[in-house]
Amino acid sequence: MSTPTGSTPSPSTDRPTRTRYWVIVFAVTLAIVQYVDRVAISQAMPDIAAEMQFSDAQKGMIFSAFTLAYALFEIPTGWLGDKLGAKKVLIRVVLWWSFFTAATGWAWSYASMLVTRFLFGAGEAGCFPNLTKALSTWLPKADRTRAQALMWMGARWGGAAAPLLVVAVMAFVSWRTAFMLFAIFGVVWAVIFYLWFRDNPREHPGVNAAELELLKENEHNVAGHGNVPWKKLVSRPAMWLLWAQYFCLSYGWYFYVTWLPTYLRDERGMDIKSNAFMGWLSGLLEGSMSPEMSLKVLAAALAGIPLFFGGFGSLTAGLISGRLISRGANVRNVRRAFGVIGLTGASTLLMASFYIRDPLLAMLSMGLASFSNDLTMPGSWASCMDIGGKYAGTVSGSMNMMGNFGGMAGPIVVGLVLSLTSRDWQLAFAISAVIYFLGAVCWLFIDPVTPLEKEEG
């Protein structure tokens, strides 16, 4: 049974409609778009840097201009979602970052690229806090961890596809035109989302009374809530630990979407073909393209491995943790276990990838590091939903802000290490491994379930 927009459905014995699951579809598709737009620059950077004569330090600053803005605008855009509703904010930020995706192709200097990527990051900052806000309104608590797992799986796989997508597009057009083409994805998403989505499930014509009954616990999340209890938020040890672990996680993870293509091209170079399988694949590709292009395709495929594996990490964590919790396992302990195991594994496997000389095996090790990294993701974001309640947008925004300060620091530190040490990649990897491990330590002490609202009462 469906209801007209704005009406209140009468009680029904019908089976619940499944309209709520379309919100997950919107979240997954936007996550894919967001990551394609975000990751594209890492694959295009060698060509951009060659044209504009950027140094390693300048490349690091350009990568980090995005993450600085992303971090600074997380709380404001999350708060706006709590106050105005996810729909208004999501449409605006998607159109904003789509414009600056296109504008990346219009940059003419180091300064213009720096400003453009900063403004691009300001738009993308509103994505995940407001998707989390929408999910906290449209999904029962039992579905939230799995939904976050699917959303982050989509994000990672979108990022994994981006290197090959960029290479494919740039085989026909310049890197400047490629960014203008990528901007179209977000515009299309925003139009469809505008026509379909409602902040309040009760106002959607596809939701029947039985489905609303499943969502009745979320009704207090629907109305605007701008009066965030900031003092309570910043005085909770659990929040500081949640922020710290996400800083550590993002510091290590941002290497995969910033410096990795440069590392593969400069440090590994033709060594990519030393693996028997990769050498065979290169020979196969050279039957239809130049040796230089075949090397770009191989490097792009390898660069996508960490994000591809990361998608499986998010999915695995969501499925296993959901099953454990449904069987009575303690939510706090399950999330802590995934946090500790995930970040410890990321630390160990990332460092191992540097010492493995076979390029394919090295990237598989790095892929498993990303898999381990993302075992932590669904629990981190589900914790924001449980802790935040009606302030889920603000709480998730605060965590992602701290994470992106880590994401900002990572590319800068790598750039400085390379500039000051004659390109000592080993030191850059070691720093990331240590920071990953510190994130694992944080998870030993996090309370990821106690709601913020209880402290208000």
Q: What pLDDT digit, counting tens, does each position of 369-419 carry?
A: 999 999 999 889 888 888 887 787 788 888 988 998 898 889 889 988 988
Lowest mean pLDDT segment, chosen from 142-146, 198-202, 287-291, 419-423:
287-291
Q: Largest Cα–Cα distance in the chain?
A: 71
Q: Is the pLDDT of residue 13 over 60?
A: no
Mean pLDDT of the chain: 85
Q: 264 and 299 in contact (C-beta within 8 Å)?
A: yes
Give the pLDDT band (50/70/90) at residue 183: very high
Q: Is the pLDDT of residue 199 over 80?
A: yes
Q: 124 and 34 in contact (C-beta within 8 Å)?
A: yes
Q: How far apart are CA 454 and CA 431, in angstroms?
A: 39
Closest CA to 166 of 274, 36, 288: 36
Q: Is the pLDDT of residue 283 over 80?
A: no
Q: Is the pLDDT of residue 9 over 60?
A: no
Q: What percent of the chain has pLDDT over 90?
A: 38
Give the pLDDT band (50/70/90) at residue 225: low
Give the pLDDT band (50/70/90) at residue 269: low
Q: How far apart are CA 300 and CA 16, in angstroms?
A: 44
Task: Record the pTM.
Answer: 0.75
Mean predicted confidence (pLDDT) in 424-441: 96
For 22-59, the pLDDT digits (tens) are 989 999 999 889 988 988 888 788 889 999 999 888 88
Identify the structural domains of the chain with CATH numbers, from first to last. Answer: 20-200+228-456 (1.20.1250.20)
* pLDDT for the residue numbered 432: 96
Comparing 212 with 124, the larger pLDDT belongs to 124
Burial of residue 125 (CB within 10 Å: 0-12, 13-18, 19+) is buried
Q: What percent of the chain has pLDDT over 70?
A: 88
For 318-366, the pLDDT digits (tens) are 889 888 888 888 989 999 999 999 999 999 999 999 999 887 888 899 9
Mapped to the 3 state alphabet, what secondary structure does the chain carry?
CCCCCCCCCCCCCCCCCCCHHHHHHHHHHHHHHHHHHHHHHHHHHHHHHHHHCCCHHHHHHHHHHHHHHHHHCHHHHHHHHHHHCHHHHHHHHHHHHHHHHHHHCCCCCHHHHHHHHHHHHHHHCCHHHHHHHHHHHHCCHHHHHHHHHHHHHHHHHHHHHHHHHHHHHHCCCCHHHHHHHHHHHHHHHHHHHHHHCCCCHHHCCCCCHHHHHHCHHHHHHHCCCCCCCHHHHHCCHHHHHHHHHHHHHHHHHHHHHCCHHHHHHHHHHHHHHHCHHHHHHHHHHCCCCCHHHHHHHHHHHHHHHHHHHHHHHHHHHHHHHHHHHHCCCCHHHHHHHHHHHHHHHHHHHHHHHHHCCCHHHHHHHHHHHHHHHHCCHHHHHHHHHHHHHHHHHHHHHHHHHHHHHHHHHHHHHHHHHHHHCCCCHHHHHHHHHHHHHHHHHHHCCCCCCCCCHHHHC
Q: Is the pLDDT of residue 253 over 80?
A: yes
Lowest mean pLDDT segment, chosen from 77-86, 225-234, 307-316:
225-234
Q: How far apart are CA 253 and CA 348, in angstroms?
A: 14
Mean predicted confidence (pLDDT) in 57-75: 87
* pLDDT for the residue numbered 256: 86
Q: How far apart are CA 354 and CA 4, in angstroms?
A: 59
